[in-house]
Copies of this chain bind each other. A is one copy, B any other.
Amino acid sequence: MEEKRVVIIGGGFVGLNCANILGNAGGLRVTVLDRRNHHLFQPLLYQVAMAGLTPANIAAPIRALLADYANVQTLQAVVTGIDLEARKVLTSAGEHPYDYLVVGAGAKHSYFGNEHWEEFAPGLKTLSQATEIRNRVLQAFEDAETCTDRDRRRQLLTFVVVGGGPTGVELAGALGEMTRFTLTRQFRNIDSRQTRIILVEGGPRILANFTPEHSAKATRVLEQLGVQVWTNASVTNVDAQGVVMGNESIKAATVLWAAGVRASSLGAKMGVELDRAGRVVVQPDLTVPGHPEVFVGGDMAHVEMSDGRLVPGMAPGALQMGRYIGKIILKEMAGAPRKPFQYWDKGQMATIGRTQAVLESGRLRMSGVLAWFAWVVIHIYYLVSLRNRVFVLFSWLWSWLKFARGSRLIIKKEWRFWGPGGEVR
């Protein structure tokens, strides 16, 4: 029997979990393509942006994670196109023909047609963005400490987080915690507790996917941390001065964007049906219509549950899809028919500050310290690699006891030339 070639695009939860199923399986040769060299645990990315964890805590090289599978090759390459008819992937590192294709390239943040806002309001999807946000937040306090102009200082000490979903809530909560605990006593000219943090949400309540009770609870906890929650506030402009919402405006030196995501543009390159968020509308077995050999999973896939709602773009869904696709391929090689993908809804949660979280799973509704503890356990459990689990747990314990943040570093390019490709870090 000839070897089947599986090409996996993306080393995120879909790709990694699929490769883990296919690794060391007979008769298969697997190639994992990713433009970056690392898998990233996105649920904790906000903690890197808020100087609590370091990049290495929540990321690991894809090739290290897959090193034990002799039939799996990892290549760092940018995918430039997918030729569904010729069954090959075009990349910066040549063409890769496939018998099965698994596409899990994720999502990026989106400004809904106002992409020029990115300069002033970075989003949070990559380690590069997280360290940029960390630089900006920490630099704002440093600049406020040396600033002699009263208005400018106020602007420097005003932070706006746009978007009241879990990421926005977690960012605003971490900012509140940082300014109310970590940074107090460290400055002489400013009082970090006077920092204004404004969480702007376009809809009527934050955490809209949670119960109204949990939205209210989250709002109360945020307000205790000094965060002002502005709902029904639609952002109409962002620039170097701050944020405009219709006829209101906030002068803020630092604006963070957590308002929307859009699926990877790879879906558009495939020439298949997309939904409004750029996701590929897939069949019950996660394949592209007419192409049973092409799977799409994770944030890139538009997958309906039995009640008509979409599988949410969170880690558990991507993880389950990756495993499902891997098993489908293995079973099909053994001649078994395909069963449709079933999403096991484990619920959702969001954490706010030191000891608070809200958690909803099936009929279970939890908030407070117990929910926070569950949040910690679950996030440690889902982290990739034992090393990351141990180091994150240890970092959290230390920071929690000391009210500290372990990675308050501003690191900027400080030399004359650019690195290869004009890129630096």
Copies, count: 2
B-side contacts of A416, CB under 8 Å:
115, 118-119
Residues of B within 8 A of A423 (CB): 412-413
On chain B, the residues within 8 Å of A424 by CB distance are: 128, 132, 135, 412-413, 424-425
Given contacts A142-B76, A146-B75, contact A407 B56 (CB under 8 A): yes
Give the complex CA separation of A351 and B55 in angstroms. Answer: 27
Nearest CB in chain B: distance from A262 CB, A: 14
Q: Which residues of A from 50 to 82 have beta carbons under 8 Å from B? A: 54-57, 59-61, 63-64, 67, 73-77
Chain B: minimal CB distance from A70 (Å): 9
> Across the interface, which residues of B come within 8 angstroms of A63, CB to CB?
186-187
Within 8 A of B (CB), among A385-425: 387, 390-391, 394-395, 398, 402, 404, 406-421, 423-425
Query: Does residue A43 face the partner (Cβ distance < 8 Å to B)?
Result: no
Q: CA A146 – CA B31 in complex, angstroms?
A: 12
Q: Which of B118, B127, B138, B188 contacts A417 (CB 8 A)?
A: B118
Q: Which residues of B are found within 8 Å of A54, using beta-carbon distances?
A: 54-57, 407
Q: Which residues of chain B are within 8 angstroms of A36 by Cβ–Cβ distance?
A: 410
A303 to chain B, nearest CB (A): 27
For window 241-278 of A, CB contacts with B under 8 Å fall at: none
Across-interface contacts of A284 in B (CB, < 8 A): none
Q: Does A24 reach chain B (CB closer than 8 Å)?
A: no
In the complex, how many angstroms separate the beta carbon of A167 from the nearest chain B beta carbon?
A: 17
| Chain B, Cβ-Cβ closest to A64 | B186
Name the CB-closest residue of B to A398. B387
Min Cβ gap A185→B in Å is 5
Instruction: Give the chain B neighbours of A410 by CB distance below 8 A.
Output: 36-38, 76
- Which A residues from 137 to 185 make CB contacts under 8 A with B? 138-139, 142-143, 145-146, 148, 185
- Determine whether A215 belongs to the interface, using a CB cutoff of 8 Å to chain B: no
Give A20-66 interface residues, CB cut-off 8 Å to B.
36-38, 54-57, 59-61, 63-64
Judge whether A129 is part of the interface by a CB distance below 8 angstroms: yes
CB distance from A28 to the nearest CB of B (A): 14
Q: Are A128 and B411 in contact (CB under 8 A)?
A: yes
A126 at the interface (CB under 8 A from B): yes
- Residues of chain B lying within 8 A (CB to CB) of residue A409: 37-38, 55-56, 59, 61, 127
Q: Does A94 contact B (CB under 8 A)?
A: yes
A131 is an interface residue with CB less than 8 A from chain B: yes
Let me know if A370 is at the binding interface, CB within 8 A. Answer: no
Instruction: Specify the chain B residue showing the minimal Cβ separation from A40.
Output: B409
* Interfacial chain B residues near A118, Cβ < 8 Å: 415-417
The residue among A56, A406, A407, A419 with the most chain B CB atoms within 10 A of its own CB is: A56
7 smallest A-B Cβ distances: which pairs?
A: A93-B146, A119-B417, A56-B407, A76-B142, A412-B423, A73-B188, A54-B56
Q: Identify 12 residue pairs between A and B in the complex whose beta-carbon atoms are under 8 Å apart, listed by A's number.
A: A37-B142, A38-B410, A54-B55, A55-B409, A55-B411, A56-B406, A63-B187, A73-B188, A76-B139, A122-B415, A128-B412, A390-B398
